Amino acid sequence: MKTAVITLAHGRHAHLAGQQQALRASTLRPGDYVVVAMDDPAIAAPHPDVSGTVLRVDSAGGNLPLARARNLGAETALDRGAELLVFLDVDCLPAPDLLSGYEQAARDPAGTGRLLCGPVTYLDPPGTGGYDLSGLARLDNPHPARPAPEPGEVVPDENPDLFWSLSFAVTAETWQRIGGFCEDYTGYGGEDTDFARLARRSGVGLAWVGAARAYHQWHPTEDPPVQHVADIVRNANLFYERWGAWPMGGWLTAFRERGLIRGGTGAERCELADGITGPREPSAAVP
């Protein structure tokens, strides 16, 4: 089975280099490595020990095209012969057994034809020498909001709202069945939950893969992500128009409590509060 790793990148060059270092230490090397550079001409070709390519994608209207970039990465990997697509956030370090874990789960009856998701541990800031890749297992502490089976376990799940795009895998056949991400989403938030809804509509559930562990490299962030409030409002409205439900409920509630937005609950449209501006709304057509 030829496995391709697909990573989107905009900045975070040190994290990208760390990911490539971890892939070089993998018990199973990727058959291909596709880096999709969004508005970042400084991203260079992958390390020679990780066979792959860099694609260039420009944003539209100043919003990073995450959905379009993932689709392009998948299409390119499939054209290059990939049978299993593994999507890893640029900040994620794969455990040595992540790729082999996803490959085995794709063949396991519990994971066949499903979106395969692995547990992710959020790391503390590294020391001056960076992360010790040989010691990542000692830091294993998966995020409590998602299932985290033991290595060797593959656990089916039918809740699309638990899907996340930090680390997941899908066979070529299942990807084509789903049809990819909705490219009406731009900027941060919502496109991954929409993808899981498209999967469910296509009869594709989730499966949690205990062996496919990843470790999210630390970087400064805000909770809720107020720096992305305009993107989240725009994409939340799009999601509601497509599916009749509100995504990212915790963030929308936190934004309302801070006076940053109005609505986004019941049938009330989500709007930025006075004095906060955002880009034009995208089309809401469901493919």
Indicate whether 82 pLDDT > 60.
Answer: yes
| 98-111 residue pLDDT tens | 999 999 999 999 99
CA angle 250, 254, 260 (to 5 degrees): 130
Indicate whether 279 pLDDT > 70.
Answer: no
pLDDT at 105: 98
Indicate whether 268 pLDDT > 60.
Answer: yes
Tell me the pLDDT band of 275, cut-offs 50, 70 and 90: low
* Bridge partner residues of 262 (DSSP): 271
Tell me the pLDDT band of 282, cut-offs 50, 70 and 90: very low
Q: Quick one: what percent of the chain has pLDDT higher than 70?
A: 95
Indicate whether 163 pLDDT > 70.
Answer: yes
Mean pLDDT throughout 126-154?
93
62: which residues sit within 8 A by CB, 6+ positions away?
279
Give exposure, 161-192, as e/b (b: 16+ Cβ within 10 Å).
eebbbbbbbbbbebbeebebbbbbbbbbbbbb
Indicate whether 286 pLDDT > 80.
Answer: no
The rounded mean pLDDT for the chain is 93
Q: Quick one: what percent of the chain has pLDDT higher than 90?
A: 87
> Nearest-CA neighbor of 216 among 91, 50, 69?
91
| 202-248 residue pLDDT tens | 999 999 999 999 999 999 888 899 999 999 999 999 999 999 999 99
pLDDT at 30: 96
Mean pLDDT throughout 118-128?
94
| 39-50 residue pLDDT tens | 999 999 998 889
Indicate whether 283 pLDDT > 80.
Answer: no
* Backbone torsions φ then ψ of 49, nearest 5 degrees: -75, -10
pLDDT at 222: 86
Contact (CB, 8 A) for 36 and 46: no
83: which residues sit within 8 A by CB, 6+ positions away?
1, 2, 3, 171, 172
* Look-up of token digits 């040190």: 14
